[in-house]
């Protein structure tokens, strides 16, 4: 079982991942409603904070190390495949929710909203496949 602060930074669907530096953002927009009233004025209602939305780039690289400096026994391709499998789960009844544990250890149920694979150097893919995967998660 992956442990945040020991061998990963976030956990999605039971798999631990490291996030690329400067590539993590959690957004929680406020829900607002504006209506025009009889006299022509505007009435504004604040409905409070909406659902959380996480945007991050996950490192699916070979020879990642944990916080003690030990090399993790997982390849970049295996991490990418696990991430892709979570994204490609077919909805039963129209909804797939995944367990997500954030940087601070808080747990959420999320929907996997977007997945983009980035290969930084295509020449290395033949010998050492590694990926940077940009993902978007939305609170269920």
What are the tens digits of pLDDT across the range 50-105?
999 999 999 999 999 999 999 999 999 999 999 999 999 987 777 899 999 999 99
Contact 72, 64 (CB under 8 A): yes
What are the structural domain ranges in the chain? Answer: 10-139
Taking the C-alpha atoms of residue 68 and residue 57, their distance in angstroms, rounded to an integer, is: 23
Taking the C-alpha atoms of residue 19 and residue 28, their distance in angstroms, rounded to an integer, is: 19
> Which pLDDT score, from 0 to 100, does residue 122 have?
85
> Which pLDDT score, from 0 to 100, does residue 97 have?
95
**In this structure, which topology does domain 10-139 adopt according to CATH?**
Elongation Factor Tu (Ef-tu); domain 3 (2.40.30)
Q: How confident is the model at residue 120 (pLDDT cuts 50, 70, 90)?
A: confident
pTM of the model: 0.89
CA 102 to chain CA centroid, Å, is 9
Coil, strand or helix at 116:
strand
Residue-wise pLDDT for 29-60, tens only, equals 999 998 898 988 999 899 999 999 999 999 99
> For 27, phi and psi rounded to 5 degrees?
-115, 140
């Amino acid at each position: 079982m992956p442990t945040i602060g020991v061998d990963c930074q976030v956990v999605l669907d039971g798999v631990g991942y490291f996030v690329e530096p400067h590539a993590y953002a959690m957004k929680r927009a406020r829900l607002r409603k504006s209506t025009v009233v009889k006299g022509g004025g505007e009435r504004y209602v604040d409905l409070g904070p909406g659902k959380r939305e996480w945007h991050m780039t996950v490192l699916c690289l070979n020879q990642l190390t944990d916080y003690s400096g030990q090399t993790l026994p997982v390849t970049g391709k295996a991490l990418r495949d696990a991430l892709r499998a979570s994204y490609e789960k077919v909805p039963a009844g129209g909804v797939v929710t995944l367990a997500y544990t954030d940087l601070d250890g808080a747990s959420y149920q999320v929907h996997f909203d977007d997945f983009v694979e980035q290969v930084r150097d295509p020449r290395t893919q033949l010998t050492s496949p590694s990926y940077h995967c940009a993902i978007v998660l939305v609170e269920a």
